[in-house]
């Protein structure tokens, strides 16, 4: 299906084929073909523009035009195929940093491609009006979550714009105000919160709830609680209706979302 949406545009006259934009696109939508950067499929481009800042020639911009819809499932298949191609090209290569005597590592030893599409990711550092926030699926994660989840990129980060923070050690009031500004000034399509199972980390959910109230926006929010070994403990939907969707966690002083 084709609709009018944001998608990248490459000025071939400016592009010198340096290839800096290719690794910046975690969806694998860009390749160097015949000495120029090319968009290999409209379905792979989410229109967030993570590649814009990587082009030293300024050859990449965002435009609005009729294009195929972004397809997350197609992106996952495409990225998996790219990774498989790399493995088949270098079947006897040892993983980086391993003993040179290692040969033919198993499939699990191959590093997974990064799916990060924005930088910076720390909530205190991200610009409130960064272009990648427009139309974004926003992932808000506790600082410790990527450390606990070895498959964080694959499980949570595909086609998401990431911000991270710690509701216990960082300035919670500042985070509330900044998130409210991000919600107000950008067309955020959805919010996914991933937090650790420890009570203090649930404060991240409360911050998002308050920031949404401050912004006056109604955005669908999903919540995932992760255990210290990376397992998903609980998933739920955050209700932005007044006072609904909450229960009290005994003895912790933090609200808990009802599943």
178-220 tens-digit pLDDT:
999 999 999 999 999 999 998 889 899 999 999 999 999 999 9
- pLDDT over 50 (residue 78): yes
CA distances to 62, 82, 129 from 53, rounded to whole Å, are 12, 23, 15
For 3, residues 6+ apart whose C-beta sits below 8 A from its C-beta are 66, 67, 69
Q: Which residues are within 8 A (CB) of 110 and not within 5 positions of it... i.e. 6 or more apart?
A: 83, 86, 87, 95
Domain with CATH 3.40.50 in the chain: 131-257
pTM for the whole structure: 0.55
**DSSP strands (E only) in the chain:** 2-10, 30-33, 36-39, 60-68, 137-142, 161-165, 190-196, 221-226, 232-238, 246-248, 255-257
Question: What is the CB-side half-sphere exposure of residue 18 using CA atoms within 13 A?
Answer: 14
Chain centroid offset of residue 239 CA: 22
With cut-offs at 50, 70 and 90, classify the pLDDT of residue 252.
very low
Domain 131-257 sits in CATH at: 3.40.50
Cβ neighbours, 10 Å, residue 84: 12
Question: What does the pLDDT look like over 98-155, one tens digit per residue?
Answer: 333 333 444 455 567 888 989 899 999 999 989 999 999 999 999 999 999 988 998 8
Tell me if 8 sits within 8 A of 49, measured CB to CB: yes
Q: Where in the chain is the domain with CATH 3.30.70.20?
A: 2-68
Burial 32-67 (b: 16+ CB within 10 A, else e): eeeebbebebbbbbbbbbbbbbbbeeebbebeeeeb
161-165 and 137-142 beta bridge pairing: parallel
Q: Does domain 2-68 have CATH number 3.30.70.20?
A: yes
Beta strands (DSSP E) in 113-178 are 137-142, 161-165
Output the average pLDDT for the chain: 81
């Amino acid at each position: 299906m084709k609709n009018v949406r944001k998608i990248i545009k490459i000025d071939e006259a400016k592009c010198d084929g340096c290839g800096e934009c290719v690794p910046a696109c975690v969806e694998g939508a860009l390749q160097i073909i015949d000495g120029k950067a090319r968009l290999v499929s409209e379905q792979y481009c989410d229109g967030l523009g993570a590649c814009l800042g990587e082009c030293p020639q300024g050859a990449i911009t965002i435009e609005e035009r009729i294009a195929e819809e972004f397809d997350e499932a197609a992106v996952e298949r495409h990225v998996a195929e790219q990774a498989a191609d790399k493995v088949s090209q270098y079947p006897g290569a040892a993983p980086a940093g391993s003993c040179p005597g290692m040969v033919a590592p198993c499939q699990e030893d191959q590093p997974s491609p990064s799916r990060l599409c924005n930088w910076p990711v720390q909530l205190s550092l991200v610009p409130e009006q960064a272009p990648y926030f427009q139309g974004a699926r926003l992932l808000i994660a506790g600082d410790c979550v990527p450390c606990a989840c070895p498959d964080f990129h694959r499980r949570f980060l595909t086609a998401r714009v990431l911000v991270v923070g710690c509701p216990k050690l960082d300035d919670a009031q500042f985070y509330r105000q900044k998130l409210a500004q991000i919600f107000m000034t950008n067309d955020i399509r959805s919010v996914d919160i991933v937090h650790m199972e420890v009570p203090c980390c649930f404060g991240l959910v409360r911050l998002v709830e308050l920031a949404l109230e401050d912004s006056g926006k109604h955005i669908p929010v999903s919540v995932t609680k992760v255990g210290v070994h990376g397992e998903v403990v609980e998933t739920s939907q955050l209700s932005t209706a007044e006072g609904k969707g909450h229960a009290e966690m005994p003895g912790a002083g933090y609200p808990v979302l009802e599943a």
